[in-house]
Structure 1
Amino acid sequence: MTTGDGDWQRDLVRELTDGPLSGGGAPQSADPEPQTEARPGGQSEARPEVRPEVWSERGSKASDSPQTRDPRIPAPTPSSPAPVPETLPTIDPRLAMALGRPRHGDSTARRAGAGLRRLTASAGREVAEQTRYAEELQQPVTTGRVVAVTSIRGGVGKSTVSALLGRTLNHYRQDPVLTLEADAALGTLPVRMGAESVRWSAGDLARILTPAMQLTDVTGYLVPVADGGWLLPAGQGRVGAPLDVATYRTVTLALRRYFAVTVVDCETLPGEVARTAMDTAHARVVVAPMTAEGVHGTRQVLDWLASLPHSALASTVVALSAATPDATLDAEAAVAHLREPGVTVVALPYDRHLAQGGPIHTAKLARDTRDAAVRLAAEVMRRAVRVR
């Protein structure tokens, strides 16, 4: 991925872009102050001053502008000033009152039985497995990795899987993790991530970003997640202009310099943004519902990935999601059918907490769900880091 002189931005541009950047017109900032790097607990560590390079499709540099501005206020364009969006709740307050208390993914009896099984199980084997997964999740990265999550249709748990991945990666990693919504529809990722309100969208940020911005500047436009990490929604939960490919390319190209891992909750296939994200990501997750038609359609997606010019299938993991406890499809047969092209399949069991909807509370997840989420994230990181 990187060149011998460490200029990975040029390689990144060649990989992700094939035309001029959109949203150009955003002015450049003055020389930045010494960069700071976010650390756990909100602390920052000073870093040596680095002269930023302007993002360019052809890898050329542009000089910094002498202008200065507050990075939290959108810069005006020559034609008209950029509007500052209002803050809107992710769930209508009248509806939020009806959510009720979150349920635990496991029943009381099942939790008690799981405790007894853990006492009698091989502790050494469990510790060894957890250690292996932790090592996969904590692998260092030299450039930001992008993980794209999609499915063949909506309502199968795509945003839920994206939220689980974002939370799991943030729990294990010490560097910044971003969960980005790239769904043109009225997605549910902000709600699942526990965001109470949203303001800036991916489209807004695409018009504001400049190479001189530091991580602390960028996070001013993002939504902090309760358990850690950051969220960038696709919109404000309104019907409006869909997120387009140019905006997606601009945002992912720019934000990869700030975040070690970006989990992208894509629109469903065969949407144009989803196809672009799947084609350019370092690792891919296809969420398949535990139904005959869902498994069949997902297998067609895998065959499409196998036909891409680069080895997209080798960096793909299937998340087989059960939305009901009464699924009649034979799970072993479904997994075997999906594995035929050579992909890894991770089964996500039915979870009462996830089925309830609303914000995901990690402590309320069933034990099997947490284990499956950790395994899925570990499989994804192993493939994302392997890509050069």
Structure 2
Amino acid sequence: MPERVPPPLAGQSSSAMSDTSPPRSRKYARRSETRPGRRAAERSAGPAVDIRVEGSHQVLILPCAGGVGGTTLCALLGTELALARSGRVVAVDIHPNGGSLGVRFPHRTDASVRSLAEAVVERGRLTAVQVEAFLQDTASRLGVLTSPRAPEVTEALSTAELRRVTEVLQEYHQFLVLDGCSDLTHALTQATLCTASHLALVVGTGVDGAVAAADTVKWLRHNGFEELLSRSDAVVIRRSASRGARLPELREYLDSFCASTSLLPYDAHLAQGGVLDRRLVSTSLRKAMSPILANVVQGIARASASTD
């Protein structure tokens, strides 16, 4: 089948969401009781609240290029999942050389992905309470595992270290939302593509966003991930208040390869960076997250059912 190309954009020619949670200790499970914003989140999440999901699953957030909002989507999706679902949710920074997920949440511990990987090697199996000590705690009940903050200790995780981290997290969490990077050739990216239950592509607007999306789609299709791509959700994030160039054509292109395509509107609070405060996020953006949340949970449920 001939390779599809993205539609021409401005300045570009046509050539050119009842679930069954993993076992947890009673002390750990008590934290899943009432938390701020849950009822409102359940109402907005709609079907994502009620869909039955068995086991534990990895959701890989894959930006098609740097700076398109991958970490932002990871923080948003993790927060909404944690508010809407009763199962535990953790967001994990898996950028090879350290990402900015920790910037999006208040910093309450110096623990990191690397320190958790080292603890697994030193202690063997960790209890739920021991694992929790490595996570940043948030008002939404989302756990956050960040990269090391000190530059002198920041180095790429090995695939073996990443496997240890994800395995111990999946013992006590139903959803792992992984903040990935756009480097498709990196071993960590390829390893998570192989273990992910669901994929969310993050796409930028404009000519550069369309080109990067086409390159990512082509790579996934030609390297054995076409089936994962066909179940994925593409999320186009507006990074400015301008409307962007030819978004309907970009959406049509993405729809031809992905299960769904969604558009997140510009949000001034997110655009300024720093700590994510859900109370300051616009109503339009929270509404736009609802179908994305439902798509992710439904996609995982369907994939799980097909493998039973």
TM-score, normalising length: structure 1: 0.64
The aligned counterpart of 1:150 is 62
- Tell me the SS of whatever aligns to 2:274: coil
5 Å matches for 1:66-215? 133-192=45-104, 194-209=105-120, 212-215=125-128
Q: How far off its partner does 1:222 sit?
A: 1.4
Q: Is contact 1:36-1:216 (8 Å) kept? A: no
**1:226 aligns to what?**
139
Work out the percentage of aligned pairs sharing the same amino acid.
21
Listed as ranges, the matches of 1:246-325 within 5 Å are: 246-270=160-184, 271-307=186-222, 308=224, 311-325=227-241
Select 2:251's aligned residue among 327, 335, 355: 335
1:350 is matched with: 266
CA contact 2:59–2:177 (8 Å) conserved in 1: yes
Using the TM superposition, give the Cα deviation of residue 40 of structure 1 relative to its aligned residue in structure 2, in angstroms. 5.4
Aligned residues: 269
Structure 1 or 2: more helix by fraction: 2
Against the structure 1 CA distance between its residues 42 and 321, is the aligned structure 2 distance closer, same or farther, given a 3 Å change threshold? Answer: closer
Q: In the alignment, is the contact (CA less than 8 A) between 2:48 and 2:298 conserved in 1?
A: yes
SS of residue matched to 1:345 = strand
SS at match of 1:38: helix
Q: What are the ranges of 5 or more consecutive residues in structure 1 without an aligned counterpart? A: 1-8, 10-33, 44-129
Change (3 A) 1:237 1:159: farther
State the match for 1:38 in structure 2. 28
- AA partner of residue 362 (structure 1): R
What is residue 6 of structure 2 aligned with on the other side? none
Instruction: Structure 2: state its 5+ residue gaps.
Output: 1-21, 34-41
Q: 1:145 to 1:37 in 2, by over 3 A?
A: farther
Q: CA-to-partner distance for each residue in 1:36-86, whole Å, 9 max, x for gaps?
A: 26345567xxxxxxxxxxxxxxxxxxxxxxxxxxxxxxxxxxxxxxxxxxx
State how far apart, in whole Å, the 2-side matches of 1:328 and 1:205 are. Answer: 41
Quick one: structure 1 residues 279 and 292, their matched pair in 2 at CA, closer, same or farther if it must change by over 3 Å? farther
What is the letter of the counterpart of residue 293 of structure 1?
A: D
**CA positional deviation for 1:205:** 0.8
Highest relative contact order (Cα 8 Å, sep 6+), 1 or 2? Answer: 2
- Structure 1 residue 238 corresponds to structure 2 residue 151: yes
Q: Which amino acid aligns with 1:367?
A: T
State the TM-score, normalized to the length of structure 2.
Answer: 0.80
**Partner Cα separation in structure 2 for residue 179 and residue 269 of structure 1:** 19
1:16 maps to which residue?
Answer: none
Shift of residue 278, structure 1, vs aligned partner: 2.0
Matching residue of 2:3: none
Seen in structure 2, the aligned counterparts of structure 1 residues 224 and 232 have a Cα distance that, compared at 3 Å, is same
Shift of the 279–260 alpha-carbon distance from structure 1 to 2, 3 Å rule, reads same
The alpha carbon displacement at 1:349 in A equals: 0.8
Greater C-alpha Rg: 1
Structure-1 residue corresponding to 2:4: none
1:387 equivalenced with 2:299 (yes/no)? no
Which stretch of structure 1 is more off in the superposition, 217-226 or 194-203?
194-203
| Residue 216 of structure 1, CA deviation | 1.7
Distance 1:159 1:382 in 2: 22
Taking the aligned partners of 1:264 and 1:252, their CA distance within structure 2 comes to 10
